[in-house]
Amino acid sequence: MNQVNDRNRDIGPFVPQPDDDQIICRCEEVTKGEIRRAVHDGMWTITEVRRCLRTGMGLCQGQTCAKLVKRIVAAELHIPQSELEPATSRAPMRPIEMRVFANEDGEVKTDE
Amino acid sequence: MNKTADVIVIGGGIIGCAVSYFLAKRGVRVICLEGSDNIGNGGSSRNGGGVRQSGRDPRELPLVMYGIKNYWPTLSDELDIDCEYHQEGNLRLGKTEAHKKILTGLTDRARAVGLDVRMIDGDEVRAINPYLSDEVTCASWCPTDGHANPLTTTLGFYKTARRLGAHFISGERVVALKKIRGTLRQVLCASGDVFEADTVVLAAGFASRKIAETVGIDLPMQEITLEALVTEAEPPMFNQMLGTAEADFYGHQTKHGSFVFGGTSGLEGFTTDDGTPMTDSRSAPCFCRGIIKYFPNLAKAKIVRTWAGWMDLTADKVPILGTVPEVPGLVLACGFCGHGFGIAPGAASQIAQLITEGKTDVDLSDLRYDRFTAKA
């Protein structure tokens, strides 16, 4: 996207909400309040929130929470969701055992 | 948007964020410009997390020793974030006589600069880390080395600098520097924005080369891709930082339980990318083969992610730090060669001291920009 993003723009104060304890990223157990707090600490992109809190870095790689995180961050920044780039999808598509990955040219060993 | 400050820092990686932090702490008005959309988007967030003195060139060793003594142990408190710093030693592993020779050379040179590092044999290695295979026959052992979380540490410097009043702007790509009456004064951006300051710190990794060229300074660097991977969480096994004599892999177990390992495939510098650092499908399997030989127990650990990053590799593989007499006002802090994470707090604090006091605690003269000369 590469748009000038002035991190001093006033997004207002952090206001506690009744559902701040709700878990948003189930794999890494990150709550709505933690995500909102991170935005007020300057984490203004999905990638920054992810690197700061591990949202979407667990076993499902964000397949469950990505949309929820985006909605929360956009609301906190008062911007449309379309202005937030999703986090980068990373290979492999599914978790792979090292011994299988290591043997990528050969047969999968099923000795145990 | 305010476009004038005492200091403009170009680059919002760990070096730029940490320089901004140390300057803001000293009461300096700072604007930090990051070219990409994300703070800490280069090597700062993509490295293996080593906070390591052993295995380093003696010219940069005093700087990283300074940082480990003065900043790392208290950094989590200082930055109000969990940097996950562990100071439980670094094992640099060897399997052959040739490896032993490499490690002994590194160890001797580091000891000459005053670092506590020594060679140990295979049994001593396994007494420290019982998970290592019998193939390991020697290692260098540096008990004061360690590792930390590059993501939280980089963003911690950003967050705290911002709280202290440093002004960050992302997506603001610098294209040129401009002197006015012989002194560096303006920073020109692709967006058309022009920033002004008395001092400009160039900490933009490899991108620093093109920017420095606009004021006639060449910084001999190459951009080389390096790749890494991470496993799912495993039960806690060990807390040392690991490397190997041939640098074929390195890494550690994180607080989260996952193992972060980086490595080399032998194809570095020859893989293709499209303007973003791309993983090569051959690399991660290659790292896995290497890791399993050292750690047979991890054969069934699952890889969940792989990623790539760029190193800003200088011609002699140590960073470029300090002022530039031909361009008054310019301060360089780039070319960290893929091992800029552990050295960042020490290097950044010295750059901040240089700007505000005109002197440094650690001698930076070996890291001058004009040290690159052709063969006699």
Tell me what pLDDT residue B273 has. 76
Q: What pLDDT score was predicted for residue B197?
A: 98
Residue A112 has pLDDT above 60, yes or no: no
pLDDT of residue A58: 87
Whether residues A99 and B168 touch (CB distance < 8 A) is answered with no
- The Cα B130–Cα B267 span in angstroms is 32
The string of pLDDT tens digits covering residues A5-33 is: 999 999 999 999 999 999 999 999 999 99
Residue A111, pLDDT score: 55
Give me the numbers of helices (H) and strands (E) for chain B, helices first please.
Answer: 9, 18
Kindly list the domain boundaries of chain B, sorted by start residue. 4-49+151-220+316-371, 88-144+222-314
B4-49+151-220+316-371 fold: FAD/NAD(P)-binding domain (3.50.50)
- Tokens (6 digits) for A57: 């870095």
- Contact with chain B for residue A60, Cβ under 8 A: no
Determine if the pTM surpasses 0.90. Answer: yes
* Touching A: B residues 165-224, CB under 8 Å: 167-173, 191, 193
Provide the pLDDT for residue A108: 57
Report d(CA B211, CA B203) in Å as an integer: 10
Cβ–Cβ below 8 Å for B37 and A2:
yes
Which of the four pLDDT bands, split at 50, 70 and 90, describes residue A104? confident
Which amino acid appears at position A66 of this protein?
A: A
Residue with more model confidence, A94 or A71:
A71
Provide the residue ranges of all domains of chain A, joining segments of one domain with +. Answer: 23-87
For residue B268, the model assigns a pLDDT of 85
Helices (H), chain B: 14-25, 61-70, 75-79, 97-112, 122-128, 150-163, 208-213, 283-294, 344-357
Residue A107: predicted pLDDT: 65
Could you please report the per-residue DSSP string of B243-271? EETT-SEEEEE-TTSPEEEEE--S-TTTS
Q: Are B104 and B96 in contact (CB under 8 A)?
A: no
Q: Compute the mean pLDDT over every residue in chain A, rounded to the nearest whole number.
A: 92
In angstroms, the CA B82 to CA A97 distance is: 29
Sign (positive or negative) of CA dihedral A77, A81, A83, A85? positive
- CA-only gyration radius of chain A, Å: 18
**How is residue B86 written in tokens?**
């562990």
pLDDT (tens digit per residue) in A37-87: 999 999 999 999 999 999 999 888 888 899 999 999 999 999 999 999 999
ipTM for the predicted complex comes to 0.95
- Percentage with pLDDT > 70 across chain B: 100
- Select from B155, B169, B256 the Cβ nearest to the Cβ of A43: B155
- 10 Å Cβ neighbour count for B40? 28
B125 close to B136: Cβ distance less than 8 angstroms? yes
Tell me whether residues B289 and A52 touch, CB distance under 8 A: no
Q: For B155-198, how does the pLDDT look when each residue is reduced to its tens digit (9 = 90+)?
A: 999 999 999 999 999 999 999 999 999 999 999 999 999 999 99
**Is the CB of B41 inside 8 Å of chain A's CB atoms?**
yes
- The C-alpha angle B200, B206, B271, rounded to 5 degrees, equals 170
Predicted pLDDT of residue B261? 97
**Torsions phi, psi for B100 (to 5 deg):** -60, -40
Question: Which chain B residue is nearest to residue A8, measuring alpha carbons?
Answer: B167
The CATH fold assigned to A23-87 is Arc Repressor Mutant, subunit A (1.10.10)
Closest CA to B88 of B133, B153, B149, B142: B142
Cα–Cα distance for residue pair B193/A4, rounded to 1 Å: 10
Q: Does A43 touch chain B if contact means CB atoms closer than 8 Å?
A: yes
Query: For position A17, what pLDDT does the model report?
Result: 97
Question: Residue A110's pLDDT is what?
Answer: 57
| Share of residues in chain A with pLDDT > 90 (%) | 79
**Chain A residues touching B41 at Cβ < 8 A:** 47
In whole angstroms, give the CA distance from residue B139 to residue B124. 9
Q: What pLDDT score does B276 carry?
A: 84
- Return the pLDDT at A109: 58
CATH architecture observed for domain B88-144+222-314 = 2-Layer Sandwich (3.30)
pLDDT below 50 — which residues of chain B? none
Answer yes or no: do B288 and A2 touch at CB < 8 A: no
pLDDT for the residue numbered A1: 60
Nearest CA in chain A to B155: A52
pLDDT value at residue B149: 98
In Å, how far is B47's CA from the nearest CA of chain A?
13
Tokens of B322: 């300090």
